[in-house]
Chain A
Amino acid sequence: MFTLHGTGVGFGIAIGTARLIRRPGQEVPEYSILSGQVNQEIQRLTDGIHSAADCLSAYYEDIHDASTSEVQGILEAHLMMVQDPILLEQSASIIRERLVNAEFALQLHCENLQAVFRNIDDPYMRNKSDEISQVIGRIQDELLGQHAGQSSLEGIKEGEIIVTHDLMPADTIEYKKYHVGAFLTNLGGPISHTAILARSMQIPAIVGLHEGIRYLKTGDTLVIDGKRGIVLVEPDDAALDVYHKRAAKIKRVARELEAIKYKPARTLDGRTIELNANIEFADELKQSLECNASGIGLYRTESLYMNRKELPDEAEQFDVYSTLLNSTERPVTIRTLDLGADKQVDGGRRNMSLATNPALGLRAIRLCLHDLTLFKPQLRALYRASIHGDLRIMIPMVSSQAELDQLFIVLDEVRDELAQENLPFKPHVPIGGMIEVPAAAVTADIFAKRLDFLSIGTNDLIQYTLAIDRIDDEVNYLYDPLHPAVLRLIKSVIDVGQNAGIPVSMCGEMAGDIECTRILLALGLREFSMDSAVISEVKQRVRGTHIGEIEPMVRDLLTVNESDRYRDLIQLINR
């Protein structure tokens, strides 16, 4: 028994036998040919191209009804690439000049093409080189298939684990037919074709195994742990037993979670809790509604600004925001730009790396107030979109009253401008502040007088309160969401909100951590916002909690002075 490690994606655990599928990037045979064989080899190449094209056209016909236009578009493009005369000409001239076999000539040609893309810093362009190797790989497959005399996908049995270099978009349709158990690939990351396919088929996959699959052969027994990214090869009976039990448990939990999806998030003592979703892209809204989120508690707008050279203008932002608001009647909280620190605008608006400590530097609302050309188009777009739904605007990283003074002046200006231009907007969009700087948490009562809601951003609040940089390996063991200092700050912000009669929510990672759910409930939190994937888990925890019963223990937690007792208490609370 041995293990391989990669990036785990998709769902749960799969146990089955390996089926190796040869794919581009794996070694292709290389051999010399005689000058008298050149024409014959070029004919082989031409035939290979024709059968690859036939195969792609067949898929293309096949999916006309079944699939999205996006997949169709990619397939059509791949077909055009295979049939492009340049591909044949250039590979044929390699055969002529170097006297090598067709497969290897394609390989050399592919490497030449990829070299062009390698130095391009645009991420969208860089993965074009993967598509070229996929297309060329398909022709290589056909050439090798001529030797083997059969198509590689034939004979796949239900539950088998597909082991391959990388999946191609065309395969995504093929594999769905076979009900395979899992995918293992050398290439790919959390948003690769393989990952998307695995999620849609609700099976696990491990991608980015690098050259790991070379240690596997067809027929090996494998255990795939999609959550941890581990492959167990030829496991012993004890390991198999453990994983069979885990797989059964995962199935049971999934059934339980599915069963409570449309049940209310209500505690045993009758408190109704709001569970909202955090989203990064507008199209994640659908997924969060499927998970039955009460609304969007945090839409991060940074993705609109990243990976591009030019800033999005007001019109583009208005489109995105109004489309989002139009698609749901539930409340949507949009956070204004939170750039700086670990999130930089591409295109180098200013050189942030000069700052010695970017987490404490010009970022979020500070950056926005510093540069109104960045901030105002977003605010205008938000106000204009406000008539399309239930919008709330959230300002990240507020730390002083002077910032609020400036903010309200800018908001007044924006509303005046829109009114003068006769553009429709809601004048009273709720404005909230994200409480993530300890200064704001300590003086939350002053902020509460001027804002319509507060939202606790725990990731930064914990980092600033404990003076721990989470990405610093040497100190991150001290990063503790349940540190009494953090819990006291959270409690005081929640209390402030109750006294002022304004809502307080939490949108950091802590809000989606089921180890913290009960403690937060006992501290008085009633609105959570989290990744939609964990909503059901948190809801299950909420539904199993009697707040009154754990309140005394959580009160102790705020003052306990022995670390052993502290750990015991947490265990007791979460029991």
Chain B
Amino acid sequence: MSIEHILGLVTGIFFGVLLQKGGLVRFEKQVGMLLFKDFTVLKFMLTAIAVGMIGITIFSHFGVISLNHRPMNVGAILIGGSLFGIGWVLTGLCPGTSLGALGEGRFHAIFTIIGMIVGGMLFSHSYEFLYNTVLSWADFGRIGIPDITGISGLIIMPLFVIGVVFLMRFLEKKGM
């Protein structure tokens, strides 16, 4: 194992522990979120995003790390995002949590994992078709909100964090 492998494995183990402790790897938490019965997934994700955003914005501003935006390919985002939403409900787990669910004994996740590998196969064999159609419609490249709005991430970040804090307070007050 190289340093790359060890680093990935260690990061993944910590990720898996946090996902499991938070209950995020449970089918009922994920589907419960989509049915507005359980807001654990939303709370966990938004807190992670807000805290992470503080560090990422500051470190990238000072050039310590570089950002890696995923492309704003409009057709791909719209169709792919919608397909993911449909598949997510049916299978009840997302790619990362499917492995976590398996780890804590929820063996039904194996069907999700096999489906995802088969889906990966279908994707790779239809890639050239996608490349000439959906992916070629409108690609705005790897852009961030600061590139579009002209507003620095150092201003957007605190606004986002404050927004998350208020939303969480609201959810707690409503007992959700």
A and B part of one assembly: no
A interface with B by C-beta (< 8 Å)? none
**Residue positions of B touching A, CB distance < 8 A:** none
